[in-house]
Structure 1
């Protein structure tokens, strides 16, 4: 399992990369491994607002259908439309293939998330 430094991690196996007041959100290597081959990604609508932990989309794989949550509150500024034609990018590059970019409403919510070491420990406890 690969865990990337410099990101924030949720208990639902999403990661957040912060650039200024923007939060790029994706799924972790752990999540994509457990999902298996991703075949479809339902992206949120640009302009929609979400509270932390709300479902913003759906990821379908050959094994399962999983809800995609946002670890932080915000308004969707962009989505990674490349995933519509190539959902398997979540498998091949989980930390590069972000799903949505939100304008952060409450940066203090980042304090509720884990760093890389905390996330690795969390995953070990779950096994």
Structure 2
């Protein structure tokens, strides 16, 4: 199981990777995708919406369950990964295959980057799931 040091993690098993300025990518962790097993559908209907930290921005559906996705920090949803979007690439298994890379779920513009300080680093998240 991977725990990249370049990410911040939530108790709900989302990760956030800050790119340039206030732009960040959000996905679910390797642990989460493993617990869910094979994903069959990812739904995000919040593109262009500004959401607060911990608000639901979408869902992931696996063979046996559906789970909500929570914003790790407040921000505007800029993009839903076209490779996993049913309307475009329709390959939700990318989240299983590469959760920290090609399997990202949304791109956001953070409205309160200070909230990153409230999230876990890789070591703390590793302890949470161990």
Task: Report the TM-score when normalising by structure 1.
Answer: 0.94
Q: CA RMSD in A?
A: 0.9
Matched with 2:43 is: 42
Deviation per CA, 1:2-42, whole angstroms, max 9, x where unpaired?
11111000000000000121121000000000001000000
CA distance in 2 between partners of 1:71 and 1:21 (Å): 13
| Over 6 Å off, 4+ runs | none
CA distance in 2 between partners of 1:73 and 1:57 (Å): 14
Q: How does 1:1-127 map to 2 (within 5 A)?
A: 1-19=1-19, 20-84=21-85, 85-96=90-101, 97-124=103-130
Contact 1:59 1:66 in 2 (8 A): yes
Contact 1:36 1:62 in 2 (8 A): yes
Contact 1:83 1:89 in 2 (8 A): yes
Contact 1:16 1:25 in 2 (8 A): yes
Unmatched segments (≥5 aa) in structure 1: none
> How many residues of Structure 1 are paired with residues of Structure 2 in the alignment?
124
